[in-house]
Amino acid sequence: MASIGAFVHRDRVVLSYRHRSGPSREWENVEEPVPLEWTPCNFGGERPWFVCPGVVNGVRCNRRVVILYGPGKYFLCRHCYDLRYESQREDKCHRALRRAQKIRQQLGGSVNMMEPFPERPKGMHHDTYMRLFWEHHEAEMEQLDGMCKWLDRLKQQLG
């Protein structure tokens, strides 16, 4: 069972916990001070922000964030741990495929690109349907172009 102690001060939070780098490593006590920054709210009062204590390439991060993540020894922001959303890890080809599939779903069809393009839903303006049709077409062409380039690279690697 894990536990974290937090000692809150006006200008910082001190996190107190135990960490171990691997299954055979020794447990280590960690006391990590995390600076707080306060900003005024629109309708009065103030709101606290964590100021990331991480250091990336020798430069202190100092990002003002709502959430700190703890996959390592310290609690740091997404940037310091290089945590990205799935869509940020996708290449251009996969983003285009996802965009085309989203349009198909929006029209009430299947995400399966092998099925015919969905019919115009009842009540949808023809111009809206045609705009979505052409957006889908462009995304599909972009995805197929990316797939062809990927297959060409694979063919070159295999000889």
Check residue 138 and give its pLDDT.
96
pLDDT tens, 115-155?
999 999 999 999 999 999 999 999 999 999 999 999 999 99
Examine residue 78 and state whether it is found in any structural domain, yes or no: no
**What phi, psi does 70 have (nearest 5°)?**
-125, 50
- The range of the structural domain enclosing residue 55 comes to 5-65
Alpha-helical segments (H) within 7-125: 86-89, 92-106
Whole-number Å distance between alpha carbons of 151 and 42? 53
H runs (alpha helix) in 12-158:
86-89, 92-106, 126-158
In a domain, 16, yes or no: yes
Residue numbers of the chain with a pLDDT score lower than 70: 1-2
Q: How many domains does the chain have?
A: 2
> What does the pLDDT read at residue 56?
81
Are 95 and 59 members of one domain?
no
59 and 97 fall within a common domain? no
